[in-house]
Amino acid sequence: MSYEPLHGTRVLDLTAVVVGPAATWRLGQYGAQIIKVESPGGDLMRGLGGLSPTGQHAGAYLHLNRGKRNICLDLKAPGASGVMERLVAWADVIVANMRPKALARLGLDPETVRAGHPGKIYCLLTGYGSDGPYGGFPTYDSVVQGAVGLPGLALERDGTPGYVPLLICDHVVGEIAAGAILAALLNRHRTGKGVTLEVPMFETMATMVLQEHLAAQSFDPPAGPYGDQRLLSPHNRPMRTKDGFIAVTINTDPQVRAFLAATGRGHLATDPRFASVAARAVHVAEWFEIRGAPLTDRTTDEWLKIFRTADLAAMPVHSIESLSRDPHLTAVQLMTQEDHPTEGRTTVLRSSIRADDAPLPPRGPAAPRGWDTRAVLDELGYTGAEAAALLDRGVAVAHSSAPDRT
């Protein structure tokens, strides 16, 4: 028996691009039944982020949309609202990351939906909280990164502002939204009540950044400058080895002694500037210069053996290519392969979580647009003739290769 905490929970997915799909992907890994509604124009992410054989399932789309059925509807067409009413009635949870005004035009905003269905859980993902002056502004991951200070921190450390090379705000806020939905389901168990959740990207990432980097300015009067000075040291970077880069971190006093001994600088271990956590916090700049010094007299593999023997935390600096071949990931089979309905042989990425020693099942492949249109209309109670009329009028669109399940 696979572990399916959300077995029987129904999620109506009105999301696109990354933050919403990341949230519903996580719910799918827990066994939720998900129906994703996609416009005939399609989720922008199908084509962004790289090529695929048909041009319709770029890697990020492929991996973030596992475990979801797909109905293609033209929400602006007369007649679509009837289908949406049945989908809303079907769902326990509605997730949307459209802008609030667009949802309101369609009658799919949280107020309208919960007025008719107070027991539903509605999770709205926004760029900026609708209770503040930026409410309703459009956004994307990198704009949130800029707003919450990630390139600003890089500017302080490196002298030039760089984005995190990952859609990190989308991913993180998606995960937090998935958690908020899980909590709301528990709340419904406890109280019988639905809820409207709003998870704003800007505030969510700002909290995360400020938790770390408000630092000594968390006190009144301030105890020191803004920013975790360890992370902002220009020496806080992977060390160069003879043949690449290595990531090593040392925090406790025994680790510091072991690291200095392993790198031939044991005499520094008794230097009062570096002998304790508190002393190193005061002398952070000098300390980071020492611990970040190049290690070019040995290869990465040689250093890994030495540091691991000393029980220090160390790993090679992987490229995406070497990461995909990492022996640990290979052993735990994080990646497997399957045949996708339209893209041929593809990689399957599963959730990393293990429950009672077994990984969560990866669920089914990302569906082509409209793959389940006919099946979902059937499940919603439309007769064959009614479904055919919706398809004829372009209210609903079915994928040309999808199995005809009606």
What does the DSSP assignment read for 77-145?
STTHHHHHHHHHHH-SEEEE-S-HHHHHHTT-SHHHHHHH-TTSEEEEEESS-TTSTTTT----HHHHH
Tell me which residues in 363-392 interact with a copy of itself (CB under 8 A).
none
Backbone angles phi, psi at 360, to 5 degrees: -60, 140
Which of 13, 43, 198, 372 is close enough to bind a copy of itself by CB under 8 A?
198
CB of 80 to a copy of itself, least distance (A): 21
- Which CB, 324 or 383, lies closer to a copy of itself? 324
200 touching a copy of itself, by CB under 8 A: yes
Is the separation of the CB atoms in 59 and 52 below 8 Å? Answer: yes
Return d(Cα 298, Cα 330) in angstroms, integer: 26
**Window contacting a copy of itself (CB under 8 A); options: 72-80, 340-348, 382-390, 397-405:** 340-348
Which of 76, 116, 158, 285 is close enough to bind a copy of itself by CB under 8 A?
158
Return d(Cα 18, Cα 223) in angstroms, integer: 39
The SS3 assignment for 13 reads strand
**Window contacting a copy of itself (CB under 8 A); options: 78-86, 89-97, 175-183, 392-400:** 175-183
CB of 213 to a copy of itself, least distance (A): 5
157 touching a copy of itself, by CB under 8 A: yes
Cβ neighbours, 10 Å, residue 50:
11
Tell me which residues in 112-131 interact with a copy of itself (CB under 8 A).
127-129, 131
- Which CB, 254 or 384, lies closer to a copy of itself? 254
- Apex CA 317: angle with CA 313 and CA 320, to 5°? 130
Which of 77, 164, 269, 391 is close enough to bind a copy of itself by CB under 8 A?
164
Tell me which residues in 222-241 interact with a copy of itself (CB under 8 A).
223-224, 226-232, 236-238
Q: By CB under 8 A, how many residues form the interface with a copy of itself?
A: 160
361 touching a copy of itself, by CB under 8 A: no
Which of 78, 192, 264, 357 is close enough to bind a copy of itself by CB under 8 A?
357
CB of 83 to a copy of itself, least distance (A): 25
Which of 81, 90, 100, 163 is close enough to bind a copy of itself by CB under 8 A?
163
Is the separation of the CB atoms in 127 and 202 below 8 Å? Answer: yes
Return d(Cα 347, Cα 362) in angstroms, integer: 11
168 touching a copy of itself, by CB under 8 A: yes
Tell me which residues in 24-83 interact with a copy of itself (CB under 8 A).
26, 30, 44, 47-53, 55, 58-60, 62-64
Return d(Cα 253, Cα 335) in angstroms, integer: 38
What does the DSSP assignment read for 242-297?
SSSEEEEE--SHHHHHHHHHHTT-GGGGG-TTTSSHHHHHHTHHHHHHHHTS-BTT
Identify the helix (H) or strand (E) that includes residue 305. Answer: helix 300-309
Which of 2, 102, 105, 281 is close enough to bind a copy of itself by CB under 8 A?
281
CA atoms within 13 A on the CB side of 358: 7
CB of 382 to a copy of itself, least distance (A): 30
Contact track, a copy of itself, 128-147, x by CB under 8 A: xx-xxxx--xxxxxxxxxxx
- Which CB, 5 or 107, lies closer to a copy of itself? 5
- The partner residues of 69 in beta bridges, in order of sequence, read 35
Is the separation of the CB atoms in 14 and 96 below 8 Å? Answer: yes
- Which CB, 316 or 370, lies closer to a copy of itself? 316
CB of 253 to a copy of itself, least distance (A): 10
